Structure formats: C-alpha cells, structure tokens
A = this chain, B = another copy of it.
Amino acid sequence: MTVPSGRRERKKAATRQKIASTALRLFLERGYDAVGIREVAAEADVAVTTLFSHFASKEALVFEQDEDFEQRLTQAVTGRAPHEPLIPALRREIRALVRHCTADSAAPIWRMIDESSALRKYEESMRLRHAETLATAIAADPELSQTATASRTIARFVIDAYSLAREAADPEAAVDEIFRMIEAAWEVTCPSRRA
C-alpha cells in the first residue's frame, strides 16, 4: 500500500497525455461535435473504456487542466500577504487568467468551445463549481469574517468577471470595469473597515 512510484505512474500519465493530445488534435482539425469518442479512442490506440477511466466525459478531454484554474483562485485568497485586501488580489489573478486565455495561441481552442453547445454547457457548470470553491475559501478567511451569502455572492461575481471579460472586446479593460463594481459591492459587506 505504498505510493505506486515508478514505471506504472509514468505509463499511466503517458496514456492519459496521449489520449488528451490526440483528442484535442482531432477536435481542432474537424470540430468537436464531428469527432466521436470511438474515433478518438481508436486514434489514440486505446479502448473506449480506458479513455473513460482517464476522463469522466467527452467534454473533460478539452478542459484537461481546469484544476489549475480552481487552485489559482483559492491561492489568490489564502496565499495573499497578511492584511492584503481581498479584491485587488482577486483582480490581479483574474486579469492574469483572462490574459492567458485570450492569448492568440489559445484562440482556436476557445473558438472550438464557442462553437459547441455541449462544451459551453460544460464550462458553465465548471465555473459554478469554481465559484463554490472560491466561496469556501473566502468564507474560511478569519480576516474577512463574511456571511455565507456574502461569500458566495462575491465568489459568483468574480467568476462572472472572468466569463464576461473573456468575451468582451477589450478584455483587460472589462476586468477593470467589472472589478470596480465588485469592489463597491464588497465594501457594502464590511461596513466598519477596509478588508
């Protein structure tokens, strides 16, 4: 029952990686909806059941590293300097995330996502999960001491900022514009101080 270090782990990671890269290549070449799971599995030279043991769904093949997103957001809350105000820390992180996914290199992927309603739906519920995680992190911060509702509300607003800015004509300006609104909403929740 020790850690299964070594070859086995490496092989597993390699299989997973091969599936993901094959899938992404096929999806970008011919469109997400036009490529079936059986085809991805065949091209990656694995069984369909193997594919589904690595990825929970077809959509998950596209959003392979969404845990990054979640971790970076909670990190922005829990890992900020002592007494550093919350909202600027979150704005900085959201700005970086938006810049990252509006870069030219990411454009084909996001075009593909926008073209598939299944992928859009999946991303929406991913965002909701992320909002919940972020809300938990905010609610757990003793410096803030917010109500459950306020924590969840601010978390939703921050995720909304990400989603709206990504679609805006000028994403960076949109982040600033939305965060001015979030800042105001936040200050209402802490009447006595500036957190």
Q: Beyond A153-B181, A157-B157, A181-B188: 18 further Cβ-contacts under 8 Å? A: A121-B121, A121-B125, A124-B125, A147-B177, A148-B168, A149-B164, A149-B178, A150-B177, A152-B164, A153-B177, A153-B178, A156-B160, A157-B185, A181-B186, A181-B189, A184-B184, A184-B187, A184-B188
Query: Measured between C-beta atoms, what is the minimum distance from A1 to chain B in Å?
Result: 33
CB distance from A181 to the nearest CB of B (A): 4
A119 vs chain B, min Cβ distance (A): 12
Judge whether A180 is part of the interface by a CB distance below 8 angstroms: yes
Interface residues of A in 109-123 (CB under 8 A from B): 120-121
| Alpha-carbon distance between A148 and B120 when the two chains are bound, in angstroms | 21
**Chain A residues with a Cβ closer than 8 Å to the other chain, count:** 32
In the bound complex, how far is the Cα of B157 from the Cα of A188, in angstroms? 15
Within 8 A of B (CB), among A167-184: 168, 174, 177-178, 180-184
Q: Give Cα A120–Cα B125 distance, bound, in whole angstroms.
A: 9
A95-131 Cβ-contact flags toward B at 8 Å (1 or 0): 0000000000000000000000000110011001000
Asked if A160 and B168 make an inter-chain contact with CB atoms under 8 angstroms apart, the answer reads no
Verify B180–A188 contact, CB threshold 8 A.
Answer: yes
Q: Can you give 5 A-B contacts (C-beta < 8 A)?
A: A124-B124, A124-B125, A149-B174, A153-B181, A160-B160
Which chain B residues border A157 with CB–CB below 8 Å? 156-157, 160, 181, 185
Contacts of A180 in B (CB 8 A): 188
